[in-house]
């Protein structure tokens, strides 16, 4: 998992959970309830925010601790395993804890521990573990009673899990369902009112939040979990034509012949790719072929693309949030003018165009459209 190098957010505060700079997130839930999906997606989002985050999957440590060619005894997944398996479990857990401690010692900010943690004693252990090190804890429980979601999760795990490489599909499903059934009678949902937790029910159908003194990071986490989904989708990103020529102020440029050529090529490429994808999925040409959400900024240069797509029967949603950020003092200037009048700013922009902010320029506007894009929310923002 790639980590961000952005400076850690301030840990100065009252000492309450959501003012602290370091948080240990502990996942809770039965197998096939989407814990790993939640933890990986949340980690990506937090890294994108600039928060140094890492996911620690207990299953990875289990596999690393097995000797080459060694077969894991079935009772490893039992709630009450043999003494030998208890020792092995403790060894696996010890390796994971060491890495978590090392991560925080190296200025990590949020560690996500991905495991079942099905009992009250498991959660108490982690709450004490983090508390002793001055790290606040947050538990995220994934509950699911939707058979379709569970079935899809089992199917995906059968395909992607390293545990089932070279297994027959039916054998992998049978084995994984056995793991689930072994834990169900002993599973204890979170009821510890002194813990800070978020219950995610059927992947964002409902959220229950307990003992949360909301601050910036947890509010971002909660907001993200409210918009999580597991439906597969393709997202296409395309720049407007002038960006191909390094024109920083493409917003107010005039439409030219090259723009029309670009628009035609873009629409052709997009629709051809969708047609091939649907053909591979054996869906054929049906009404779902038009199930495409298209967002564009409000720009003259987008008019031809909009027209071409609308003629094909697609609805194009013009979104003000997608317009170029305001460039402050260099707004409406060409690159040559910026280089001449603001040579230092020009150099800094050339070195890091993604993060550089011109004087009095807009800082960022990517979070709202990213959230809407992720959730699939089609309301105008």
Torsion angle of C-alpha atoms 182, 27, 207, 209, degrees rounded to 10: 120
**Has 122 been annotated as catalytic?**
no
148 CB-near residues (< 8 Å, 6+ apart): none
Task: Please give the Cα distance from 194 to 244 (Å, whole number).
Answer: 55
Task: Please give the Cα distance from 112 to 87 (Å, whole number).
Answer: 24
Catalytic hit among 114, 163, 242, 247: 114
Phi and psi at residue 209, to the nearest 5°: -120, 130
The angle at the Cα of 364, spanning 351 to 16, to the nearest 5 degrees, equals: 115
Q: How many other CB atoms are there within 10 angstroms of residue 373's CB atom?
A: 16
Contact 23, 138 (CB under 8 A): yes
DSSP conformational letter for 115: S
Q: What does the block give as tokens for 24?
A: 């240990």
Task: Please give the Cα distance from 55 to 15 (Å, whole number).
Answer: 24
Task: Please give the Cα distance from 9 to 7 (Å, whole number).
Answer: 6
Contact 142, 134 (CB under 8 A): no
Q: What does the block give as tokens for 199?
A: 């219950």
Q: What does the block give as tokens for 350?
A: 């050339």
Nearest to 38 by CA among 221, 232, 233: 221
Residue 209 backbone class (left: φ over 0; alpha: ψ -120 to 50; beta: rest): beta
Contact 37, 160 (CB under 8 A): no
Catalytic residue numbers, as ranges: 114
């Amino acid at each position: 998992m790639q980590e961000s190098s952005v400076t850690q957010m301030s840990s100065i505060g009252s000492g309450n959970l959501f003012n602290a700079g370091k948080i240990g997130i502990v996942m809770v839930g039965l197998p096939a309830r989407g814990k790993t999906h939640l933890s990986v997606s949340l980690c990506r989002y937090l890294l994108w925010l600039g928060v140094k985050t890492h996911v620690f999957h207990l299953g990875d440590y289990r596999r690393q601790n097995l000797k080459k060619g060694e077969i894991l005894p079935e009772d490893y997944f039992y709630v009450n395993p043999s003494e030998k398996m208890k020792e092995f479990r403790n060894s696996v857990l010890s390796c994971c804890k060491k890495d978590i401690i090392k991560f925080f010692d190296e200025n990590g900010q949020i560690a996500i521990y991905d495991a079942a943690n099905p009992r009250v004693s498991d959660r108490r252990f982690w709450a004490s573990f983090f508390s002793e090190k001055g790290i606040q804890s947050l538990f995220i429980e994934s509950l699911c009673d939707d058979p379709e979601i569970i079935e899809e999760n089992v199917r995906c795990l059968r395909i992607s899990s390293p545990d089932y490489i070279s297994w027959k599909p039916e054998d992998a499903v049978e084995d994984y369902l056995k793991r689930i059934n072994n834990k169900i009678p002993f599973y204890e949902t979170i009821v510890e009112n002194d813990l800070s937790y978020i219950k995610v029910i059927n992947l964002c159908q409902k959220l229950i939040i307990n003992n949360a003194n909301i601050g910036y990071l947890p509010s971002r986490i909660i907001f993200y979990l409210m918009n999580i989904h597991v439906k597969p989708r393709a997202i296409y990103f395309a720049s407007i034509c002038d960006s191909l020529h390094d024109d920083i102020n493409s917003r107010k440029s005039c439409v030219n012949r090259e723009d029309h050529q670009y628009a035609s090529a873009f629409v052709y490429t997009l629709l051809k790719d969708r047609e091939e994808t649907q053909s591979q999925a054996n869906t054929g040409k049906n009404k779902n072929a038009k199930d495409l959400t298209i967002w564009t900024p409000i720009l003259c240069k987008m008019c031809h693309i909009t027209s071409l797509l609308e003629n094909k029967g697609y609805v194009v949603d013009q979104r003000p949030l997608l317009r170029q950020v305001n460039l402050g003092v260099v707004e409406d200037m060409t690159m040559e003018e910026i280089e001449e009048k603001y040579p230092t700013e020009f150099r800094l922009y050339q070195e890091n165009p993604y993060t550089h902010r011109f004087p009095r320029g807009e800082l960022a506007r990517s979070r709202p459209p990213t959230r809407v894009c992720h959730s699939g929310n089609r309301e105008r923002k």
